Amino acid sequence: MNMQTRLLTVGSDPQTDPAVGEAAQLIRQGRVVALPTETVYGLAGNAADPEAVSRIFAAKQRPEDNPLIVHLAGPEQLDLVSNRVSESARKLAAAFWPGPLTLVLPAAEPFRRTICRSLDTIAVRVPDHPIFLAVIRRSGLVLAAPSANLSGRPSPTTAAHVLDDLNGRIPLVLDGGPCRVGIESTVLDLSGDRPAVLRPGMITADTIGAALGQAPVRFEPGAENRSPGTRYRHYSPDAVVYLVGPAVNQAARSRLWTHLADKKHTGYIGSQALPESLEVEKETPVSTGDLARRLYEILRDMDRRGVTHLVIDAVDESGAGLSLMDRLRRAATHVLLSKEDIDALTT
């Protein structure tokens, strides 16, 4: 599928920008285009067209059974994609759209055969990004869009990341600058008896519960079979990743660094002081939100700097920290929560 990939920057008025018109036209022709959202860049195509959907799966090398999220211009389009939109769904749509919340609802017929794969539900959201919204409106279609990375790689949060993975595989990338949120939307299943968070995101279970008047079942690893995408190892840089929990004491940490000392190139994401003798590529996030925004960028950057072994400090799992830890666990080769875990690795 070697083709020329064009990169166009969108100006301050997406409504009238010719690049937006070009993207919409390509999509109407059944082609796929990478576009910015507030979370990560998406690879967008006509959700009702089986050929466009095949192109999305092929460009990303996505496993065939992993369904796609459909993106709407506004909640008034909900009835296009589902013929059983509950009161809860309308309430959450009114409260959080446009924004990083994806709702799983019973699917309307035309989409079951395209983006839902074998499921009878559909995942849907309204992205909070003027470029993406302008392309939806100009195309007159609803758009399937997974993250615009090769399957298994960290999601792209800049147009350059998209090109890293998909150059030569898609016709067009619209550059709208870096994404504001940096990790993917919360996925909330409303098709069962109780709302269930299938993928945690920056809109937390508590926030959803407050808007709904009913707390969703919280994200647990056990929920993985309900959201096909969460089965796969995800978000992985090339480096071997060691995720180190807060209960690991200084002595055990030192043993880990000694163990890594003879490795060629080490990196660290965290705020602890490191032994002076070590040469380490270090990134110190200032907050959970800061790390969420920059995590995928940092992971890709560590690869670019040739880091082969990367140590990451776990973050507090309260609030939005839960979604960050979900992504960090998936990126990790080794999850080291105790002194014993470090011993097992280093002896």
- Interface residues with ligand TXA (CB under 6 A) are 37, 39-40, 42, 66-69, 100, 102, 104, 116, 119, 121-123, 127, 145-147, 184-185, 187, 198-199, 227-230
Point out the residue whose Cβ comes nearest to ligand TXA: 229
**Cβ 254 to ligand TXA shortest distance, Å:** 38
**Cβ 148 to ligand TXA shortest distance, Å:** 7
Q: Which does 311 bind (CB under 5 to 8 A by kind): ligand TXA, Mg ion, none?
A: none
**Cβ 155 to Mg ion shortest distance, Å:** 5
Toward ligand TXA, which CB reaches closer, 104 or 307?
Answer: 104
Alpha carbons 166 and 164: distance in angstroms, whole number: 6
**Cβ 21 to Mg ion shortest distance, Å:** 27
Toward ligand TXA, which CB reaches closer, 52 or 336?
Answer: 52
Helix (H), strand (E) counts: the chain: 12, 15
| DSSP classification of residue 222 | G
The H or E element spanning position 160 is: helix 159-166
Q: Which does 67 bind (CB under 5 to 8 A by kind): ligand TXA, Mg ion, none?
A: ligand TXA
Tell me the angle at which helices 87-96 and 205-212 cross, rounded to the nearest 10 degrees: 120
The H or E element spanning position 321 is: helix 321-331
Q: Which does 228 bind (CB under 5 to 8 A by kind): Mg ion, ligand TXA, none?
A: ligand TXA
- Cβ proximity of 300 and 267 under 8 Å: no
Alpha carbons 51 and 31: distance in angstroms, whole number: 9
**Cβ 307 to ligand TXA shortest distance, Å:** 24
Q: Which does 200 bind (CB under 5 to 8 A by kind): Mg ion, ligand TXA, none?
A: none
**Amino acid identity of 153?**
R
The H or E element spanning position 161 is: helix 159-166
Q: Does 121 bind Mg ion (CB under 5 A)?
A: no
Q: How many residues does the chain have?
A: 347
- Of 305, 326, 302, 303, nearest to 314 (Cα)? 326
Q: Which does 198 bind (CB under 5 to 8 A by kind): ligand TXA, Mg ion, none?
A: ligand TXA
Toward ligand TXA, which CB reaches closer, 67 or 237?
Answer: 67
- Per-residue contact flags (x/-) with Mg ion for residues 143 to 172, judged by CB under 5 A: ----x-------------------------
Q: Which does 135 bind (CB under 5 to 8 A by kind): ligand TXA, Mg ion, none?
A: none
- Of 55, 44, 67, nearest to 136 (Cα)? 44
Alpha carbons 241 and 205: distance in angstroms, whole number: 28
**Cβ 229 to Mg ion shortest distance, Å:** 7
**Cβ 270 to ligand TXA shortest distance, Å:** 26
Q: Which does 186 bind (CB under 5 to 8 A by kind): Mg ion, ligand TXA, none?
A: none
Rounded (10°) CA dihedral 297, 303, 307, 311:
40
Q: Which does 139 bind (CB under 5 to 8 A by kind): Mg ion, ligand TXA, none?
A: none
b vs e for 168-179, b when ≥16 Cβ sit within 10 Å of the residue's Cβ? ebbbbbbbbebb
**Cβ 30 to ligand TXA shortest distance, Å:** 19
In the numeric block, which tokens belong to residue 32? 């796929």
Residues lying near Mg ion in the complex (CB under 5 A): 147
